Amino acid sequence: MQRRTFLQGLAAATALGSLPLGVANALSPMASVSVESLPKLEGDLTLYLGRGEGGLYENVLQAIEKRNPKLNLKIRRGGSAALANTIVAEKKAGVKRADLFWAVDTGSIGMVTDAGAAKPLPTDLTTQLKEGFQYPSWSPVTGRVRTLPYNTQRVSPEQIPDSVMALADSDLKLGWAPAYSSFQSFVTAMRLLEGEKATRAWLKGVNRNAKKYAGELGVVMGVERGEVDVGFANHYYTLRLKSGKPDANVALAYTKNDAGCLVNASGIVALSDGDLPVNFIRYLLTHEVQSYLAREAYEIPLVQDVAQPEGLESLSTLTPPAMDLRNLADLRPTLNLMRDVGVL
């Protein structure tokens, strides 16, 4: 979907614009909601935006503004963790400058909800989301799953263990990006699921046979070039590479029931009471926005009946660990552990 087409499609107003949201849900209770069914947004709204996704999130915001000319949207941009710290500090000081916080990772969301800054969301909003992604005080927007991209010329799927812990003792040449935030969230999940001792041993084992990259796109490109056999990366880096190079020598493998197949999410929090922040969140969960991010960013749509990116195993067949994603906010012990082991 081209940027202009998306902007025009989301911004276009029709007679359905006044249809109450409750009526739309009643007509199709399991269907995703169309932007046409949402109320207009009017008034002042300040959003702390903790990611950009190559400008795609900016495209979404521009489309929402164009459709809602009476919305005065102010945006503060920065790293998710830094903005979360700012929100927590503002709350402690009795100052509220943001109405919404849209974050790249659930760890930052956890910092804000743990501080008591998040406002509860209505049930009719949270029940639009797929099972396992329904939270009372924040809304996931799109998902990403941890994967094992592997070089199809160097290894076969049968050579890749379905336990991420087993990779520390394998003979496979591995690629990783320890300084990357998503990798650190993955290690946090491992630490919470397996314990610090096992995670320390895993980090040491992998470090003996791993090539380090600056980011996870670099990991996937290194896998495709044959520099390593298998890497650790979010799913969309492989899908984006293959979209531009369909014959690339890389495919995805998945582990089972462990941190290696963790499904993380971007998310948004309402920091102010009232309908305006909540209705803004509704726009991010519409069929149009979810489809756009699935097609252009290769992220996983988390509302009902929106097609996921091609080339990714269905969420229904993946076996991610059961975890409250907000617990990934417990990052400091992970960083201390990684530094102590010598991978940072």
Annotated binding site: 236-237
Nearest CA-CA partner of 343 in 185, 166, 149, 211: 211
Residues contributing to the annotated binding site for Fe cation: 236-237
Amino acid at 183: F
Sign of the C-alpha dihedral, residues 143, 312, 32, 129?
A: negative
Per DSSP, the three-state class of 218 is: helix
Rounded to 5°, the CA angle 181-104-309 comes to: 100
Identify the burial level of 182 via C-beta atoms within 10 angstroms of its C-beta, where 0-12 means exposed, 13-18 middle and 19 or more buried: buried
Could you tell me if residue 257 is left (phi over 0), alpha (psi between -120 and 50 degrees) or otherwise beta?
A: left
Rg of the chain over Cα atoms, rounded to whole angstroms, equals: 20
Structure tokens at 282: 């509704």
Identify the burial level of 311 via C-beta atoms within 10 angstroms of its C-beta, where 0-12 means exposed, 13-18 middle and 19 or more buried: middle
**DSSP label at 229?**
S
